[in-house]
Homo-oligomer: A and B are copies of this chain.
Amino acid sequence: MNTTTYAVTGMTCGHCEGSVRAEVAKIDGVTAVDVSAASGELVVSSDIALDDDAIFAAVDEAGYSAVRA
């Protein structure tokens, strides 16, 4: 299993977390998404290696911005 941590900026509340979680969870191979507005941390688990760009695009789609933590 692969687990990668990203730093997401702009999330303020549980709705924001939910938006990010929903978009990232759509990515093929993703098995778990942990996200915290308080810390800005996004932890993505997957059963295949994921392309960072797919994560960045999903977070962007949710309305936020991610970088590798």
Which residues of A are at the interface with B, using a C-beta cutoff of 8 A? 12-13, 15-16, 18-19
Contacts and interface: CB of A to CB of B under 8 A. Distances in A.
Contacts of A16: 13, 15
Which DSSP category, helix, strand, loop or mixed, fits chain A's interface? helix
Nearest to A37: B12
Copies in the complex: 2
A40 to B, nearest CB: 14
Contacts of A15: 13, 15-16, 18-19
Nearest to A15: B15
Nearest to A10: B13
A19 B19 CA distance: 13
A17 to B, nearest CB: 10
